[in-house]
Amino acid sequence: MREFVVPESASGFRIDLFLTQSCDGYSRSQIRDAVQNEGAEVDGRIIRPSYKVKAGQTVRFRVPPPASDDTVPENIPLDILYEDDGLVVINKPAGMVVHPARGNWTGTLTSALAFRFQSLSDVGGPTRPGIVHRLDRDTSGVIVVAKNNAVHLNLAAQWHDRLVQKEYTAITFGRLDRDRDWIHASIGRHPYQRDKQAIREGHATSKSASTFYEVVERHGRVTRVDVRPKTGRTHQIRVHLAHIGCPILCDRLYGGHSELSRSQIRRLAGTEVATPGVKPTAEGQEILLSRQALHAKALTFTNPQTGKEMTLTAPLPPDLQAVLDLLSSDSSL
């Protein structure tokens, strides 16, 4: 961490511009990405890249490590669901990036794998050893990793040919008028937000996408669904559920919230009504969810070495279970 006091001459500058001028050897885009990933504080408060500094404020900044083509091993615990001499299946926690990328060079799954295993496939290149498929940073659950190239290529072919069955649990906000249905809508790049995807028919970046969902339980306006995507487009489940008016709970990009307290979840479900001038209790203000409520709960594929079909499942993580427990307790009142 580096610390700066904002001089009078920099008052009114955006934080990313101020830090670019203060830190030699980094581009403004590198600085902006680091700030976007909660790398900067002003007077003890985490801020965004557009924040404008004032004279006299204290800025603390976590300087990003230099980009590297090599995966740096890190001793990060892994929840291993299955392992043999050809592959390993991990229950990835929410918040962990799968492989190094701009703004996320450390703390990745590949760094943890490089520390734990002596040999992994190199089909995906030096920054993606063993990685056959990926999950979004804030999506938890089952992910399979190849230990050698033959297994990697076999698994990749199963994904390409859509032979792998993927099942997710999502908690959504909105009313689904059907208990189960298919969503067929092409997905492409968002027209002006580079970190988002969008429903786009006939665009050069668009690809066909199909998702099946089935309602598991309803709690007012909040619904738990099982989701089985047929295709594997970027952000597919998140985009499709938002498209039908039921975005995933706490999905910052497609649902509008970055965190939700107990009281906020109850209000979304319709079990609590806000009273003007009355603040929620301390219990009600407790943050219950701070990431998208999406969990990859099961993968079914053929083991390349044994030829046998196998299904690996990951239990619902505590944060999502806590949301469902809250909603269930309200429903029983």
Task: Tell me the DSSP string of 262-287.
Answer: HHHHHHHHTS--PPTT-PPPHHHHSE
pLDDT at 29 over 60: yes
295 sits in which H/E element:
strand 294-302
The top-scoring range by mean pLDDT among 60-64, 105-109, 202-206 is 202-206
Q: Are 152 and 123 in contact (CB under 8 A)?
A: yes
Higher per-residue pLDDT: 245 or 193: 245
Tell me, yes or no, whether 154 and 115 share the same domain: yes
Q: What's phi and psi for 170, nearest 5 deg? A: -130, 145
For residue 331, the model assigns a pLDDT of: 66
Residue 172 pLDDT > 90, yes or no? yes
Instruction: Please report, for the domain that includes residue 150, its CATH number.
Output: 3.30.2350.10
Active site residues: 136
- Furthest CA-CA distance within the chain: 69
pLDDT at residue 126 greater than cutoff 80: no
Give yes or no for residue 92 having a pLDDT over 60: yes
**Residues 182 and 262 occupy one common structural domain:** yes
Task: Indicate the pTM of the whole model.
Answer: 0.76
pLDDT(61) > 50: yes
User: What's the average model confidence in pLDDT over 106-112?
Assistant: 86
- The chain-wide mean pLDDT, for the chain, equals 88
Whether the CA torsion 169, 303, 130, 114 is positive or negative: it is: positive
- Which pLDDT does position 284 carry in this prediction? 74
Q: Answer yes or no: do 16 and 29 share one domain.
A: yes
- Residue 271's pLDDT is 79
Give me the domain span that covers residue 212.
164-332
In percent, how much of the chain has pLDDT > 90?
Answer: 59
H-type alpha helices, the chain: 15-22, 28-36, 109-116, 149-160, 236-243, 262-269, 282-285, 318-331
Q: Over 70: is that where the pLDDT of 253 sits?
A: yes
Question: Mean pLDDT across the stretch 189-217?
Answer: 91
- Band of pLDDT at residue 103, cut at 50, 70 and 90: low
Model confidence over 254-304: pLDDT tens digits? 988 889 999 999 999 887 766 555 566 667 788 999 999 999 999 999 999
Q: What is the pLDDT of residue 195?
A: 84
For the record, the structure tokens of 251 come out as 């999905």
Q: 95 is written with which tokens?
A: 């918040």
Q: Which residue has the higher pLDDT, 127 or 205?
A: 205
My answer on whether 153 and 180 are in the same domain is no
CATH number of the CATH domain containing 44: 3.10.290.10
Q: What is the reported pLDDT for 333? A: 42
Mean per-residue pLDDT, 50-75: 80
The domain boundary, picked from 13, 43, 61, lies at 61
What is the number of structural domains in the chain?
Answer: 3
Q: What is the pLDDT of residue 192?
A: 84
C-alpha 141/C-alpha 227 separation (Å) is 13
Give how far the C-alpha of residue 103 lies from the chain's centroid of Cα atoms, to the nearest Å: 14
Q: Is 149 in the same domain as 170?
A: no
Return the minimum-mean-pLDDT range out of 83-87, 113-117, 161-165.
Answer: 113-117
